[in-house]
Each structure stands twice: as structure tokens, then as C-alpha cells.
Amino acid sequence: MNIKKVLIEFCTFSKYGEIMKRISISLIVVCLTLFSCSKKSNQIHIEVVNGITYIHNTEIPSNMNKTVVFKEELTITGRNEEDEIILFQPGIFRVDNKGNIFITDESDQSIKVFDRTGKYQRTIGTRGSGPGEFQIISDMFILPDGKLIVTDNQNIRTIIFNRESEFINSYRWDNRHYYIYLASDTTYTISENIRDEREHLFVKKYDYSGNVQFVYGEFKLANPTKFPVDNMIFYMYPPYSPRSIIVGDSKKDWLFHCINDVYKIEVYDHNGELFRIIDRPYKPVQFTKKDADIYLSRFKKNNPRQKFAKQIVFPKKKTVTNRMIIDDLGNLWVETFEKMEKDDHTFTAYDIFNNDGVYETRVWSSIRPGIFVNGKMYLLGTEEETGLKSLIRYHVQWKENGNE
């Protein structure tokens, strides 16, 4: 089973250069005063209001010559040395500082561990409700000291393993926990869903005994459309419903959040205090009939949900993003819905902000970047021949004007 190796290079496209050229020509024919005003409008504007730093970026990134190259260097197909398949349905994956790779297997609710060369090492847990066992793994995180924490949404608990993957402890929750955004050796930050008359999304910091340290606040869940039928209610989520998008930077202990119908990113510090807001001008992508057809095609004929799906009110525009990533250099990647077809590949635009919140560059990718660790990028790919998923590792090179 081979996956074609591809050298993928991202670059900012020439439309920005063309824009700047037109602006320069226009400025020649205006007076000095208008020239000064226009020049100011193209600068990043920073202000502090009530202790919060607002970084107002321009539409054009500050360094259009900065690019990144991903070079494929390893593929893990999930087979052992005897060529036996030991990883059937890979799901969540994490990588420690030594390059060891932890991958959940949804077929038996276990975690398979591979070393940095891709060699299978061991299996953690199995399906069940006993100590160190899982029913439905919702997330996992590797701590700086090598411990592994796993959240199990069916057993309603957090499980902790030592660096040798031995079970240490677990504790149950009062409410549903899903995604781990931040983690240190003493605390971790996680989403928590609470349901009363409606469902609420909170983000909280816990210690490893299950004690809440503080609450970042309540965030936004997508609003479903309700369809009552007899004594039941069907919930349907319209495409591109506004909701909270959250990602964490564990090196800084910062939490990034945006409600994705507005290009405004909030940044919270290690105490859960909002200290920075990042924005930039942005024109959302239009929602088209093709998008509606794709949405409706997900529902099979004679399925009750198909009838309800046809009653959904579609948006006129797509949201700004559905995903944000923090790479190993602390850059924030905002995945947009802007697409471009080139050489039989579909490229997606990613806006990249540096550690200071400055919109530094834009790259276009034909793959979807996953996890960045120590100069490497990892993602799950699908083999063309078999349709099976494999984990792929890439070497990451940042360049400016073609130079590293």
C-alpha cells in the first residue's frame, strides 16, 4: 500500500501584488494629504481599551514572501513487523516531544503507540468500563512530563496514565467533557457541556483530581432547527451555523476563541483573562446552490431527515472559519472557506498570525494541516488504493523568497 509522496509548497498568490500595484498607481495622482491618509490606512493599528490590546490588521498580510513547504517523510499504515494490521480505524492522534505517536483505534476503543520510525510499540487500554478501559474516547493529551490523559464521554470520566502507559487514576464528571485545549503537569483546560432547557458550552480549567480551578466563560454552540414529530423532536443543524471555534497554545497557556461568523479572535491568558483581540477586514465566501446540493446529498432517500433538510433555511454567506490551529512556533492558522482549483488539486487558504497577533502571511494548501511538533507536521491521510487511513508525517520548512 503506497501513498504517492507529494512535495507541497505554499505561496501567497499574485493578486496581492496586483492590488498593491494598482494602489501605487492611484496614489501618484492624488495630493500629498490623501497620500498620507491612505498610507496610514494600510498600517496595522494597535490600541488598548480597558486593559485589552486590540490588534487591527489590514486585509493584506505583512510578509507576502513568507511561504512554507511540507515534505512527506513517514507513513504509518498500522501494521506490525509481521505485516499484520493492528490499527483498523484510526481517529484522534497525538505526538510527544520524542516523536512517539499515539493513535486511537475506534474499532476496539484502544490507543496504539508507534515510535518516531513508525514501529509499533504497544497498545493502551481496550473497550470496557474497568480501570484504564474506554467506551468512547473523546480526546487525549500528552503532558510535558510524559503522562497521558484521556477523556471518555461514555464512561463519563478522565483517565490518567504514566509515561510508561500504565493506569494511574481516573475520576468521573458531573457533566459531559469533550475537547482538551490546554494541559500542563498540574491542570488541563477542557470543554464542558451542560444541558437544562437548552445546551450550554463552558470552558473550564481542572486539576487532576477533578477540581475546577476557574471558568473561562460560556461560549456559543451552533443553534439547531427543531422539527417536532409526534412525541419526538428532530434537530437539524443548518450548514455554516455560527458557533465558537476554540484552540489552545499549551506552551504559553493561552486560549484562542472566535465566534466564527465574525473575523475577531479573542486570546485568554493563563488566568483565563481576556487580554488580546485580533481582527482583520474580511469578505465572507458566498453560499451557493452547489453548497446546498452538497448538504442535501448527505441525507439518503426515504430518510425522515431528508424531508427536514429540504426545509432548512440556508445562509447567504459562509462563516469565516471552522477550524484554527496553533503550530509549534506559536503561529495561529485560521482555515478559511476560500478554495482554488489548480493541477487537479483543491487548495484552501490559511491566514497565519504570528506570536504578536500580526497577520503575517497567507498560504494555500492542498492538504489539511494537522498537528505540529518539533518541526514536523502530522495528519491522517486516506490511501487511494484501499481507502484505508494512514498517519503521515511531514518535515516543515519555512522560507522567504525561496530561502530557508
- The tens digit of pLDDT for each residue in 152-179 reads 999 999 999 999 999 999 999 999 899 9
pLDDT of residue 296: 92
14-23, 202-211, 342-351: which range is least confident on average? 14-23
Distance CA 178, CA 192 (A): 7
Residue 1 placed within a domain = no
- Indicate the burial class of 274 (C-beta count within 10 angstroms; 0-12, 13-18, 19 or more): middle
- 3-state SS assignment for residue 273: coil
Three-state DSSP at 393 gives strand
Whether the CB-CB separation of 243 and 258 falls below 8 Å is answered with no
One domain for residues 57 and 180: yes
Do both 224 and 296 map to the same domain? no
Say if residue 263 is in the same domain as residue 314.
no
Q: Residue 9 above 80 pLDDT?
A: no
Residues 194 and 310 in one domain: no
Any domain includes 312: yes
Tell me 230's DSSP state. T
Distance CA 155, CA 127 (A): 11
40 band by pLDDT with thresholds 50, 70 and 90: very low
Residue 36 covered by a domain: no
**Strand-strand pairing, 137-142 and 148-152:** antiparallel
Q: What is the pLDDT of residue 181?
A: 98
User: Would 263 be classed as within a structural domain?
Assistant: yes
Whether residue 234 lies inside any domain: the answer is yes
How confident is the model over 133-159, as a mean pLDDT? 96
Give a yes or no: residue 324 inside a domain: no
pLDDT tens digits for 270-320? Answer: 999 999 999 999 999 999 999 999 999 988 877 778 888 989 999 999 999
Domain region containing 262: 44-63+73-282+364-399
What's the residue count for the chain? Answer: 404
Residue 329 pLDDT greater than 70, yes or no:
yes
pLDDT of residue 197: 78
Contact 66, 329 (CB under 8 A): no
Closest CA relative to residue 113, chosen from 130, 131, 100, 99: 100
pLDDT class for 14, splitting at 50, 70, 90?
A: very low
> What is the pLDDT of the chain when averaged over all its residues?
88
Domain closes at, from 318, 341, 372 = 318
Q: What is the mean pLDDT of residues 195-213?
A: 92
**Residue 308: inside a domain:** yes
pLDDT of residue 8: 41
Maximal CA-CA distance, the chain: 77
CA 326 to chain centre: 8
Closest alpha carbon to 140 in 122, 153, 126, 127 = 153
pLDDT value for 228: 86
Among 189-193, 248-252, 262-266, 383-387, which is the least confidently predicted range?
A: 383-387
Q: Is there a single domain that holds both residue 290 and residue 390?
A: no
CA 65, CA 11: separation in Å to the nearest integer? Answer: 8
The answer to whether residues 305 and 249 belong to one domain is: no
Q: What is the dihedral of CA 108, 110, 111, 112, to 10 degrees?
A: -50
The answer to whether residues 314 and 227 belong to one domain is no
Q: Hey, which of 206-215, 230-239, 296-305, 384-393 has the most confident mean pLDDT?
A: 206-215
Q: 181 and 295 share a domain? A: no
Q: Is the pLDDT of residue 37 over 80?
A: no
Distinct helix (H) and strand (E) counts, the chain: 4, 29
Contacts 24+ apart (CB under 8 A), 192-199: 193/221
Residue 76 CA to residue 86 CA, distance in Å, equals 11
CATH of the domain at 250: 2.120.10
What's the CA gap between 337 and 283, in Å, rounded? Answer: 11
Please compute the mean of the pLDDT values over residues 209-220 and round it to a whole number.
96
pLDDT over 80 (residue 340): yes
Out of 36-45, 115-124, 266-275, 352-361, which region has the weakest mean confidence (pLDDT)? 36-45
Residues 293 and 253 in one domain: no
In a domain, 277, yes or no: yes
**Are residues 59 and 153 part of one domain?**
yes
**Could you tell me if 164 and 91 lie in one domain?**
yes
- Mean pLDDT, rounded, for 349-373: 97
Segment (H or E) for 35: helix 32-41
Q: 2 falls in which pLDDT band (50, 70, 90)?
A: very low
Per the structure, the count of domains in the chain is 2
- The pLDDT value recorded for residue 79 is 79
Residue 39's pLDDT band (boundaries 50, 70, 90)?
A: very low
Percent share of the chain, pLDDT over 90: 75
Residue 226, strand partner residues = 235
Specify whether 143 is located in the same domain as 247.
Answer: yes
Q: Which of 163, 168, 322, 139 is nearest to 237 (CA)?
A: 322
Mean pLDDT within 227-245: 90
For the cut 50, the answer to whether the pLDDT of residue 367 exceeds it is yes
Give the rounded percent of residues in the chain with a pLDDT score beyond 70: 89
